[in-house]
Amino acid sequence: MSTSTSPSVHLTDVKNGDIFDSLESCEKLLTARDVARILSISEKTVYSYVSRNLIPHYKIEANVRFRARDLASWLKRHASLVESQRSWRREEPRCR
């Protein structure tokens, strides 16, 4: 039986709060696998974001880690960007 030191911050664990509250209260560093599970994307995509500096991360020798609070802030910033793009797309085109 193996014991994992990985934090258990997952979207499915959030019942009465939201993922942002869970991430902001998490004190441990997350692995790429943790981030992939939280975001419902592949680890390969997470590493791609890291290599392009699209996501806040820390490199510890050959390892990449993520601070949960930084991830929450990053998600909030990108969610508002997506929301503004959605509202732009909803506008009806005006014909003259």
Is 45 part of any domain? yes
30 forms beta bridges with 66
In single-letter form, the type of residue at position 1 comes to M
**C-alpha to C-alpha distance for 41 and 36, rounded to whole angstroms:** 5
Has residue 11 been placed in a domain?
A: no
The reported pLDDT for the residue numbered 1 is 45
Q: Is residue 56 part of a domain?
A: yes
- CA pseudo-torsion sign 47, 51, 57, 58: positive
Angstrom distance (rounded) from CA 62 to CA 65? 10
How many structural domains are present in the chain? 1
pLDDT, tens only, 57-85 = 999 999 999 999 999 999 988 876 445 55
8-63: per-residue pLDDT in tens?
554 445 455 678 888 888 889 999 999 999 999 999 999 999 999 999 999 999 99
Q: Quick one: angle between helices 32-39 and 43-51, nearest 10?
A: 110
- Assign residue 46 the CATH number of its domain: 1.10.10
